[in-house]
């Protein structure tokens, strides 16, 4: 496998190319896959982004910092960065995943990006991994201003609306998944007992569909 692209595209040259190869290997290919590296990368990513937000937004309270971090490190954001880096064409996938379009699947690309973060840490330590994360998130972080007001997501707002009125929390039920594996759409039902309400949300991920269902419920509940 040719990994000569990595120093140029990633901005980091691996001393041990085997680490990069493992980071790009999906579990469908074999036993030596990237899930353990992804575990490390996920922890590193949350840590580095938390530090960056703490430094950049000194006046923002913990709850808003947490919500903003969640927005930055979610699958959608990681997927876009992975696409920009061209990871899809270098993924090592089993034949089934290749045939089903796994190289373009957002979850696989996002996981591979986190695995690369973990691989860089194993290759050169925390500072190297931190530099990589800060670099690939540079545009997103640069867009954040010190006076950022972080809007609460619909699910959080709906939960707080119900809790403030001592009502039971909503339930989110996956009703339908449709489309090809790399172009799936999800349909989620949000159910509330009191007041009795049932709303629907759709999207390219279950999270997006749940947020849409919560937003629809808020429109029914809020004056």
Say how far apart CA 172 and CA 186 lie, in whole Å: 12
Distances (CA, A) of 219 to 37, 124, 161, 223: 42, 50, 12, 8
Element (H, E) at 201: strand 197-203
For residue 114, indicate whether it is catalytic: yes
Q: Of 38, 52, 111, 114, which is the active-site residue?
A: 114
- Dihedral sign for Cα 22, 28, 32, 33, please: positive
Q: Of 38, 42, 111, 130, which is the active-site residue?
A: 42
Closest CA to 121 of 8, 16, 35: 16
For residue 202, indicate whether it is catalytic: no
Closest CA to 12 of 1, 25, 3: 3
> Which are the catalytic amino acids?
42, 114
């Amino acid at each position: 496998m040719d990994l000569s692209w990595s120093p140029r595209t990633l901005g980091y040259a691996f001393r041990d190319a085997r680490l990069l190869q493992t980071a790009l290997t999906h579990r469908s290919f074999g036993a030596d896959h990237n899930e353990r590296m992804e575990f490390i990368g996920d922890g590193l990513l949350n840590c580095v982004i938390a530090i960056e937000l703490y430094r950049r937004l000194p006046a923002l309270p913990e709850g808003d910092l947490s919500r903003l971090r969640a927005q930055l490190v979610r699958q959608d954001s990681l997927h876009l960065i992975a696409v920009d880096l061209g990871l899809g064409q270098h993924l090592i996938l089993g034949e089934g995943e290749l045939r089903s379009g796994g190289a373009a699947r957002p979850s696989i690309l996002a996981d591979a990006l986190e695995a690369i973060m973990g691989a860089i840490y194993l290759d050169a330590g925390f500072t190297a991994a931190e530099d990589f994360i800060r670099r690939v998130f540079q545009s997103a972080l640069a867009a954040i201003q010190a006076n950022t007001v972080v809007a609460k997501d619909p699910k959080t707002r709906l939960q707080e609306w119900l809790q403030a009125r001592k009502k039971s929390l909503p339930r989110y039920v996956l009703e339908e998944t449709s489309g090809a594996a790399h172009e799936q759409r999800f349909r989620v039902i949000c159910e509330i007992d009191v007041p009795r309400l049932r709303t629907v949300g759709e999207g390219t991920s279950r999270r997006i569909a749940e947020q849409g269902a919560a937003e629809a419920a808020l429109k029914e509940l809020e004056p």
